[in-house]
Structures are given as structure tokens and as C-alpha cells.
């Protein structure tokens, strides 16, 4: 079973590129080239995720999202060149799940798509949390996580930043996340190679995990690249 994704994007080149790349990754893709057609498709059919541009003819992305939320709670990832704070706030207030600024890297787009789908449609990832496989149960309100596996059973209380960091790593378990991505999505600032803040938080997170019996190698350092959550030892 693969996720159904609707792309609403008026730029023909971008629309075609997204369709091709995401289809190649195994997703079922539908697309619309303007806001009016996009909202019609979004309301009339079922999708696991919608990629939504903001500046479009007929109806802009905010109008599309507002109308969609009157009918469905389909997850929406906004893709736009409008990167200002007010536009971001408006997007989230209207009901967006995530926000990615153009131009963007296709690898990062895929990571964000997969993160949303893991959170909202875990049944699409049968290898994640099946019997005999490590399972992470996150409690955002208490900033805690329960980790259950064949060789591990722990409940760990974290700081909010540690929680966000582990959540992102768990959402992409087995994938190497580069430091720039983690700075932007967890620390919410630009990456500098002289900044050791991320390394410090990784070190503290490893210590908290190890105190509860989680192998310290669960969060691996991939030299010259970033960090990876390896659940094979759990």
C-alpha cells in the first residue's frame, strides 16, 4: 500500500518535477495546476497528503486550505516562495502541517513527506512498530518517550528540545540526517560548522537513553554527514 498524494502547483515545471520524483519513490500522485481545480479534487477524493503552493490563479493556497479544512483534515505541506514570518503564521493558523520554502532540496522534501505520513498514517509503514521491532511512543504533552523492543523497555523524560530531536530522528530511523537539516527543523536556526550546540544536545540525549538501558550507539554519528537513529540494538 502506498500513500496517495495530491500536488496543487501552478508552475508547470515544478508540478511535473514533483509528480515524476514522488511517483518514482512509489507514491500515487494526482495533480492540479490551479487553486480552484485543486480544492475540487481535494474535497471530492481521499488523499493521504496534499502538497500545496500559495501563489496560484483562481484561488490562492490559503483559500484552498481554508475551504479544505471545512471538509477534511488531510495533512497539508505548503511549498512556497513566500518565506516571511507572517505567511508562515497564516499557513499554520489556516491548518497547514508543515511549511517548506522554495527553492528546496528534493531529499528534504521527501524527508518531510515521510515524516508527516509516519505520524498520520503509520499503517503505511508496516515495518515500523510491528511485533519484534522497536517501537517509539511519543508523548508530546509530557515530553517523554516509551521505547519498546526485543532487548529494551524504557520510559524516558526529556527536555522539549531533546524530545523534538529524538522525534525527528525516530521519524527517519535508519536515515542519515545532516546537521543543516537538524538545525533548521529542531534548533530552528541556520547551521554553522563552528556551532557545537547540536553535538551537545546529542551527547545529553545519548546519556539519558543509556541511563535507561538504551545502547549509546542507538544514535550514530556519521562522520562528515550527520546523525542516524539505528534501532537494530533495541
User: How high is the pLDDT of residue 42?
Assistant: 95
User: How high is the pLDDT of residue 179?
Assistant: 92
Task: Strand 135-139: give its sheet, edge to edge.
Answer: 135-139, 144-149, 152-157
51: which strand partners? 7, 77
CA 120, 126, 130, 136 dihedral sign is: negative
Q: Which three cell numbers stand for residue 186?
A: 529542531
User: How high is the pLDDT of residue 26?
Assistant: 83
Q: What is the mean pLDDT of residues 95-103?
A: 88
SS3 state at 226: strand
Q: Indicate whether this model's pTM tops 0.85.
A: no
Q: Could you tell me which of 206, 202, 200 has the C-alpha nearest to residue 233? A: 206
Tell me if 170 sits within 8 A of 227, measured CB to CB: no
- At 147-205, the pLDDT tens digits run 877 777 778 899 989 999 998 998 888 889 999 999 988 998 888 888 899 999 999 99
| Best CATH choice for the domain 4-124 from the list 3.40.640.10, 1.10.10.60, 3.40.50.2300, 3.40.50.970 | 3.40.50.2300
Q: Which three cell numbers stand for residue 82?
A: 513566500
CA-to-CA separations, 50 to 95, 125, 150, 160, 163, in angstroms, rounded? 12, 18, 36, 28, 27
* Cis peptide, bond prior to residue 103, ω within 30 of zero: yes
Distance from CA of residue 153 to its chain's centroid?
Answer: 26
Q: Which three cell numbers stand for residue 118?
A: 509516519
Which DSSP letter does residue 174 get?
A: T
SS3 state at 205: helix
- Is residue 222's pLDDT more than 50? yes
Tell me if 82 sits within 8 A of 54, measured CB to CB: yes
Specify the residue for cell string 515544478.
14
- At 35-66, the pLDDT tens digits run 999 999 999 999 999 999 999 988 999 999 99
Domain limits, the chain? 4-124, 135-233
Distance separating alpha carbons of residues 88 and 110, to the nearest angstrom: 20
Please work out, in degrees rounded to the nearest 5, the angle formed at the alpha carbon of residue 9 by the alpha carbons of 76 and 187. Answer: 45
| DSSP 3-state percent helix, strand, coil across the chain (nearest 5) | 45, 20, 35
Q: Which three cell numbers stand for residue 214?
A: 538504551
- Is residue 228's pLDDT more than 70? yes
- At 123-149, the pLDDT tens digits run 665 444 444 556 777 777 778 887 877
% of the chain at pLDDT higher than 70: 94
- At 10-38, the pLDDT tens digits run 999 999 999 998 998 889 999 999 999 99
Here the contacts of 201-210 (C-beta below 8 Å, separation 24 or greater) are 201/161, 201/162, 201/165, 202/165, 202/227, 204/162, 205/158, 205/162, 205/165, 205/166, 208/156, 208/158, 208/162, 209/147, 209/154, 209/156
Q: Which fold has domain 135-233?
A: Arc Repressor Mutant, subunit A (1.10.10)
User: How high is the pLDDT of residue 44?
Assistant: 93
Amino acid at each position: 500500500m502506498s500513500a496517495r498524494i495530491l500536488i496543487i502547483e501552478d508552475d508547470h515545471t515544478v508540478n511535473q518535477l514533483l509528480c515524476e520524483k514522488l511517483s518514482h519513490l512509489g507514491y500515487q500522485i494526482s495533480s492540479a495546476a490551479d487553486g480552484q481545480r485543486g480544492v475540487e479534487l481535494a474535497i471530492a477524493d481521499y488523499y493521504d497528503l496534499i502538497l500545496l503552493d500559495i501563489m496560484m490563479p483562481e484561488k490562492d493556497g490559503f483559500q484552498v486550505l481554508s475551504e479544505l479544512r471545512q471538509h477534511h483534515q488531510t495533512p497539508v505541506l505548503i511549498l512556497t516562495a513566500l518565506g516571511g514570518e507572517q505567511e508562515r503564521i497564516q499557513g499554520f493558523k489556516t491548518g497547514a502541517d508543515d511549511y517548506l520554502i522554495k527553492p528546496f532540496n528534493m531529499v528534504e522534501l521527501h524527508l518531510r513527506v515521510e515524516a508527516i505520513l509516519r505520524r498520520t498514517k503509520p499503517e503505511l509503514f508496516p515495518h515500523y512498530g510491528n511485533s519484534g521491532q522497536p517501537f517509539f511512543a511519543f508523548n508530546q504533552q509530557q515530553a517523554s518517550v516509551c521505547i519498546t523492543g526485543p532487548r529494551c523497555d524504557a520510559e524516558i523524560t526529556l527536555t522539549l528540545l531533546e524530545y523534538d530531536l529524538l522525534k525527528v530522528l525516530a521519524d527517519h530511523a535508519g536515515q542519515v540526517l545532516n546537521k543543516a537539516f537538524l538545525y533548521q527543523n529542531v534548533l530552528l536556526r541556520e547551521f554553522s560548522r563552528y556551532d557545537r550546540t547540536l553535538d551537545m544536545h546529542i551527547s545529553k540525549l545519548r546519556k539519558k537513553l543509556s541511563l535507561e538501558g538504551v545502547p549509546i550507539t542507538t544514535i550514530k554519528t556519521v562522520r562528515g554527514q550527520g546523525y542516524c537513529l539505528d534501532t537494530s540494538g533495541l
